[in-house]
Amino acid sequence: MNELATAVFAAQADAHLVDAPRSARFAAFRRTFDPASYLRELGARGYRWLGRSDPAFPPLLRAIHDPPPGLFVRGAAELELLARPAVAVVGARASSGYGLTVATTIGRDVAAAGVIVVSGLARGVDAAAHRGAFATTDGLRLYADPVTGGFIVAGQSTRVPQSNVSGVLVFLIVSAVPALMQALKDKEADVRETACEALGDIGAEAKTVVPVLADMLTKDPDLNVRCAAANALGDFKAEARSAIPALKEALKTKEPLVQDAVAGAIKKINDASRKIGS
């Protein structure tokens, strides 16, 4: 667990560390650091830890001259994605319309070929590339198995990083959330269902996504979509606590499949909330 301690210490110290430092400050930190408790809290917030010595650690990242001690991973996708071929798409935040169009097209075509799209997760070109990875030519239809990811250099405090501060690498398997949110309004139920599932797998932007999914529990006309919305809320775990009233209301339905999905979601949310002491 020394890799985890090094990563957490680096994030708290706002430093880039490849290996554990030989300092009194780190020694004092290591004596009080509880890796088991930290990993439990990570899990409750939807993160996984992937140390540099783990076979699933990206081989190309391990090969650089100063690889991080590990990665904090968010998302339900298999870790084997980290070793698959990838194309980086990065560019200006304040991009022209033409630039956004080109980035979207590149992201769409690359993902359609089964290659992962990687970016810095910034606004503008980066976001457009991910939006393309989750959309087909009409801008709304979702691929059955879109592949998209992103790297951000950020401090890790078991919350979604909010700023690009120097620290440890955090890998997020994320979507262009706006594209998926748009897909929730699609006229085809299977598209709405897939969008719910993808948003749950990603677990990003809970403040934006959770209220919409909660609303779909009672308002979407399709049973499978309502089940998918409930399952997605469960995937958000403690971050979906605000949806508990809507979930309890949905329990009153006479549809067994929806009841089962809602009950499972409530259990996931409550279990995660208890683990973090909320």
136: left (phi over 0), alpha (psi -120 to 50) or beta: beta
pLDDT digits (tens, 9 = 90+) for 258-277: 999 999 999 999 998 888 76
Close Cβ partners of 133 (under 8 Å, ≥ 6 residues apart) = 107, 108, 110, 111, 117, 143, 146, 147, 148, 175, 176
Tokens of 125: 């070109």
Report domain 1-176's class.
alpha beta
Cβ 175 vs Cβ 199: under 8 Å: yes
Residue with tokens 């976001």: 127
Close Cβ partners of 171 (under 8 Å, ≥ 6 residues apart) = 50, 71, 72, 73, 74, 82, 149, 150, 151
Q: How far is CA 148 from the centre of its chain?
A: 11
What's the rounded Cα separation, in Å, for the pair 172 and 106? 20
How much is the pLDDT for 140?
A: 31
Superfamily designation of domain 184-275: Leucine-rich Repeat Variant (1.25.10.10)
Instruction: Please check whether the two domains, 1-176 and 184-275, share a CATH topology.
Output: no
Which pTM does this prediction carry?
Answer: 0.51
Averaged pLDDT, 228-245: 92
Averaged pLDDT, 223-251: 93
Q: Which helix (H) or strand (E) holds 86?
A: strand 86-88
pLDDT digits (tens, 9 = 90+) for 22-65: 889 888 988 888 888 888 888 887 778 888 899 988 888 888 88
Can you give the residue ranges of every domain in the chain?
1-176, 184-275
Residue 242: pLDDT band (50, 70, 90) is very high
Residue 77: pLDDT band (50, 70, 90) is low
pLDDT digits (tens, 9 = 90+) for 176-193: 466 678 778 878 787 788
How much is the pLDDT for 248?
A: 94
How much is the pLDDT for 266?
A: 95
Output the CA torsion sign for 247, 251, 257, 262: positive
